[in-house]
Structure 1
Amino acid sequence: MEEKLLLFREKIKEKKIIEGALEVLQWDLETNTPKKGMDYIAEIIGNLSMKEYEITTSKEFQECVEFLKENSEKLNEIERKEIEELSETIEKMKKIPPKEYQEYSELVAKTQGVWEEAKSENNYGKYKENLEKIFDYTIKFANYHKKDEKNLYDVLLNDYEKGMTTEKLDEFFTLLKSEIVPLLEKIQEKERKNKKLLEKVDVNKQREFNRFISKYIGFDFERGVMAESEHPFTMNINKNDVRFTTKYIEDNPISAIFSTIHESGHGIYEQQIGDELQGTILASGGSMGIHESQSRFYENIIGRDIHFWKGLYKRMREEYSFLERISLEEFYEEINSVESSLIRVDADELTYSLHIMVRYEIEKGIISGEINVENLPQIWNEKMKEYLGVAPETDSDGVMQDVHWAAGLIGYFPSYALGSAYSAQIYNTMKKELNVDEILETGELYKIREWLGEKIHRFGKLKSTVEIIKDVTGEELNPRYYIEYLKEKYGKIYNI
């Protein structure tokens, strides 16, 4: 037993070193790599991915994991969970032929650069071929992995939110739509206010304030890095090296603030994972739904609360002088204004889930063969018109606005809507234990960070999302909390 555990730990260490190297390369690819160097970095990523694949699927490692699984009663809680997770990973990876695994790893690494270039040129044709290949591989791999799932899309959902199915999501989105659309229609009848926050602010000044606000809410820059990319993202090498990016728009400074708060929420989660999990495969956030609950919680429930800005608005005015002519109440109303818009990351809380429904239906359609990648821009525009009443004039503001498909993250988008629902449910419990309004006004956000760390963050992947939500709130996912949160908040803002 001791021999097997020693071998197991050695292989996990080797595997995590490769994963760390891949993360650093991916970070460089998306933030620093020159255009002409991208193909070579993608090739390196493909080769390193194969090293990880070989460790995971080697006969020696598989036999080791199987032995430990059969003797799991002699393992501690962390080891048992690791073996459970690895058994699933091995089962999936060994079904993928090595050549296909390497080709796919290189493809997604290259495509993110292709996507960025195609987006900047509004040239879907440049991106389409790679995107088609990514979906083809995704469908092929899903077929390899399919077991008892009703359809292939369920296989993909399970990678990001274990146990989630299209049946459950259809029910979830139907409920959200039935409650959100009538509220949206009432708000749209109200007089629209002028946009006062679209002012030019020097990007260097924005950088300073965004770093300040990330630190203010609890991101530790002694253990983290902040940079810029076309699409904001967060990654962790380990809890002492957590990195995120944001995107600055000179004439829309508020956009960067909320993307920074969102990514900081992801980063705070990673920085608070328990020390006892370091060096294990459990030392990262749980499902994408619970991860997005933390970023959406910080971005919306905290970041769009008037009490949060009561403690910050004076400082922000010092940096962004145009705010001198805008009262705190006007600022609050504008950052919570409801309007059907083209860009998901800038969408208000109320219409946000409608953006996710567009992507969810498209993904399901492509995986089932009902939608062709060739016709994606047209279908995208039709669905945007159907759900949000607006259609983009360019593919850059339409089908190419998100990086997820270019990165192979197919089945990920529903996690954002689930995360929003989880965040409202968590907030409902937090309010019973903490005076949140007072904490936000006094700037003592460490109390919220510590509460989340104790209840959620420290567990990493040790607990499932279902276990965490039930332990924290006393029940499984209940979207009613999210619906009531939206109704109460926007009912007050729009006097409905």
Structure 2
Amino acid sequence: MKEQTKSKLKELKEYIKKIEYLGNAAAIISWDSMVNMPRKAVEHRSEVQAYLSGEFYKLSTSNKVKEFIDYFENTMDELDEVSKATVRELKDNYNRTKKIPDNEYEQYTKECSISLSAWEEAKNNSDYDIFKPHLKKVIDFNKKFVQYWGYEGNKYNALLNNYEPGITTEKLDKLFGEMRDGIISVLDKIKKSGYVPKIDFFTKKFTKAEQEEFSKFVLKKMEYDYEEAGRIDEYMHPFTTNFGNKDVRITTFYYENDFRSALFSCIHEGGHAIYEQDIPDELEGTFLNGAPSMGLHESQSRFYENIIGRGKAFWKYFYPEAQKRFPQFDGVSFEEFYDAINYVEPSLIRTEADELTYGLHIIIRYEIERMLINDEVTVDELPKVWNQKYKEYLGVEPSKDAEGVLQDMHWSDGSFGYFPSYALGNLYGAQLLAKMEQDMPNMYNEIEKGNLHCVHEWLKENVHKYGAIYKPADLIKKVTGEELTAKYFIDYLDKKFGEIYYK
């Protein structure tokens, strides 16, 4: 590599760090808005966030960025793999951001901040009308952005690309169609079996302090560093956020009448957090210091939550520990507990859904988002459409907005195109599991001993350390040798639930 190119790369890295620093500042303000901010601060905080987004826009779309792009387009042959990926991300980010007028970008950030606060109030009061005008504004912005960006095929493809580069509605329809059919097949077998696990012992009183202590015990075994490089806080909708790999924070919510909720949300968010903490330091200042897609990010959280956290080997170690801490489980056998952890019942709340029917919750949201962006449904019609789809897919119907259209925060902050990531995460996770089982034949024996390090180390070496160097389709093929498929997930579900329900 020529000295001039080396010098230019160093300059580029320092410039990208400035963008990342500003992004981190905006992210920590957003975190504080959800976790700590007093209610009267909403309007002023939204103005602060709008200002920072404006500065972020200027740095991301400056003439200096265009100069970097022009220079490196003529020197790509000199660059190593990481540098090529950096330039790719720089160019993609520049082109997408530049197409949005700066005043609209700033206004959109402000509206999303106000919208999030309106959603919180609406959910607490189970009143969709409080949120509806704000949701309409956020949707209208997204529709305009789709036109600015341009798209091939379905308009919704432009939004999908923000979270899962390379995915389209056409590809999703195929993957989700196979996944849906597989889920329904397993669900039918479960219904025919007639077996219903006993779960009443999960709904006894479990104090917040007890749940918090046990969740931390599990997270420490998972190797999420919440003591020196993270935090655990409370928020009505669990999430993970990070400001570099040395500050990765999660939230959860405790229900004293349900042992499972906070624990599994902690395991889920812990999976996200471990991914971020494992991103190598050397990827700072490259735009590659994160996952290549939200689907791959969700693969890690849902892998830990379900494949590991609801697995038999996991509870061989953790159930005796739970019995020591919770007398509520006295007289409950391991088999009863394990079957109850994997209890299947179509339900209303996505974040509380069982592992099997969870994918149907995502398909509902995917279909509704696509309809909204393509003007096939209005915000006025949204609660009715939501309820109809729940009746059709899951056989249940919300009785109030809080357990229906208001249950998720994603639309309030403009995250249209995100929901499919959760289901894609299930597919990625099961495909990674198949490869992990090949590479580590004794994996389950180690997990039974409480050794989750082997799982963490495999994911770190095969997935986490690459950050966003590779596109998601390229990374899954690099790790498993195959393109993403629904086959492994369907087989995994049939084997797991077959052993419990229809042996």
On whether the aligned pair clears a TM of 0.5, the verdict is: yes
CA positional deviation for 1:318: 2.6
Matched, 1:158 2:164: no
Query: Post-superposition shift, 1:6?
Result: 4.3
2:75 is matched with which residue: 71, 90, 95? 71
Checking the alignment, whether the CA contact within 8 Å between 1:65 and 1:83 is kept in structure 2 is: yes
* Residue equivalent to 2:368: 362
Name 2:243's counterpart in structure 1.
237
Q: Quote the residue 1:447 is aligned against.
A: 454
Residue 32 of structure 1 corresponds to: 36
Rounded to whole Å, the distance in 2 between the matches of 1:401 and 1:180 is 23
Deviation at 1:470, TM superposition (A): 1.0
Gaps of 5+ in 2: none
Structure 2 contact 241–249 (Cα < 8 Å) conserved: yes
Whole-Å separation in 2 of the counterparts to 1:74 and 1:468: 23
Amino acid of the structure 2 residue aligned with 1:202: T
| Residues 1:183 and 2:190 aligned together | no
Superposed CA deviations along residues 86-121 of structure 1, whole A, max 9, x for unmatched, are 111111111111111001011112221211111010
Give the alignment partner of residue 262 of structure 1, picking from 268, 284, 290: 268
Amino acid at match of 1:171: K
Q: How far apart in 1 are the matches of 2:80 and 2:185?
A: 51
Q: Distance in 1 between matches of 2:12 and 2:182?
A: 50
> What root-mean-square deviation, in Å, do the aligned CA atoms of Structure 1 and Structure 2 show?
1.3
Q: Which one-letter code corresponds to 1:162 in the other structure? A: P
> Following the alignment from structure 2 to structure 1, what is the Cα–Cα distance between the partners of residues 119 and 33?
13
* Worse-superposed segment, 7-16 or 473-482: 7-16
1:32-86 CA distance string (max 9 Å, x none): 1111112212211110011010011111221222212222223332221111111
8 Å contact from structure 1 (residues 161, 288) kept in 2:
yes
Question: Aligned residue for 1:406?
Answer: 412
Instruction: Specify the alignment match of 1:86 in structure 2.
Output: 90
Q: Alignment partner of 2:410: what SS?
A: coil
Shift of 1:415: 0.9
Listed one character per residue, the Cα deviations across residues 96-149 of structure 1 (whole Å, up to 9, x for unaligned) are 1111100101111222121111101001000011111111101100110014x1
Structure 2 residue identity aligned to 1:403: M
Distance 2:412 2:107 in 1: 14
Separation in 2, partners of 1:452, 1:6: 30
> Equivalent of 1:463, from 444, 467, 470?
470
Which of 254, 258, 280 aligns to 1:248? It is 254
Equivalent residues of 2:46, 2:114 under 8 A apart: yes
Q: What TM-score, normalized by structure 1, do the two folds share? A: 0.97
Report deviation, 1:194. Answer: 3.6
- The 8 Å contact of residues 28 and 243 in structure 2, kept in 1 or not, is answered as yes
Compare 251-260 and 35-44 and name the one that shifted more: 35-44
Which residue of the partner structure matches residue 290 of structure 2?
284
SS in 2 for 1:225: strand
1:11-410 to structure 2, matched below 5 A, reads 11-147=15-151, 149-189=152-192, 190-196=194-200, 197-221=202-226, 222-410=228-416
The runs of 4+ residues in structure 1 deviating greater than 6 Å are: none
Worse-superposed segment, 72-81 or 46-55: 72-81
Residues 221 and 451 of structure 2 are in contact (CA less than 8 Å); yes or no, is this contact kept in structure 1?
A: no
Q: Which amino acid aligns with 1:468?
A: L
Q: Which AA in structure 2 matches 1:483?
A: I
Instruction: Please tell me the residue identity of whatever aligns with 2:155.
Output: L
Q: Deviations over 1:468-494 (max 9, x none)?
A: 211211111121110000001111100
CA contact (8 A) 2:300 2:425 kept: yes
On the 8 A contact 1:8/1:65 being kept in 2, the answer is no
**Alpha-carbon distance in structure 2 between the residues aligned to 1:300 and 1:49:** 36
Moved more, 381-390 or 318-327: 318-327
Matched length:
495
Distance 1:311 1:178 in 2: 34
Letter in 2 for 1:364: R
- In 2, are the aligned partners of 1:69 and 1:80 still within 8 Å (CA)? no
Return closer, same or farther for 1:6/1:206 CA change in 2, 3 Å cut-off. same
SS at match of 2:48: helix
The 2-side partners of 1:328 and 1:433 are apart by 29
SS at 1:238 equivalent: coil
Contact 2:299 2:427 in 1 (8 A): yes
Measure how far apart 1:16 and its partner are: 1.2
Query: By how many angstroms is 1:179 displaced?
Result: 2.1
Structure number with greater CO (CA < 8 Å, separation at least 6) is 2
Letter in 1 for 2:467: G
Hey, what's the Cα distance between the residues in 1 that align with 2:329 and 2:368?
A: 40
- % identical aligned pairs: 43
Partners of 1:5 and 1:312 in 2: how far apart? 48
Instruction: Specify the SS of the correspondent of 2:403.
Output: coil
**In structure 1, what is the Cα distance between the partners aligned to 2:65 and 2:435?**
43
Report the TM-score when normalising by structure 2.
Answer: 0.96
Q: Secondary structure at the match of 1:243?
A: strand
Residue 215 of structure 1 and its aligned partner are, at CA, apart by: 1.1
Distance in 2 (CA, whole Å) between partners of 1:494 and 1:9 is 54
Contact 1:56/1:62, CA 8 A, preserved across alignment = no
Find the aligned partners of 1:324 and 1:136 in 2 and give their Cα distance.
54
Unaligned 5+ residue runs, structure 1? none
Distance 2:259 2:120 in 1: 21
